Amino acid sequence: MAILELAIAFFVLALVAGLLGAGGVAGLSMDIAKWLVIAFIVLAIVSLVWPG
């Protein structure tokens, strides 16, 4: 669950930075959050499919 927690943290950071007008930080944080969510989904699917 650590990857999902990091994704949520970066999403919140992106929202706060966007509200404060730091567009560069908000965009970068949103990109990181997006890739962390993708990694979480891929790892979740692999762990469900993989036997054992």
User: At a CB cut-off of 8 Å and minimum separation 6, what does 15 contact?
Assistant: 26
Cα 30 to Cα 19: distance, rounded to the nearest angstrom: 13
> What digits encode the pLDDT tens for the residues 2-26?
888 988 998 899 899 988 888 888 8
pTM given for the model? 0.77
| Banded pLDDT at 1 (limits 50, 70, 90) | low
Q: Check pLDDT > 90 for residue 46.
A: yes
Cα 44 to Cα 10: distance, rounded to the nearest angstrom: 20
User: What domain range is 8 assigned to?
Assistant: 2-49
Using a pLDDT cut of 70, give the percent of the chain over it: 96
Domain count, the chain: 1
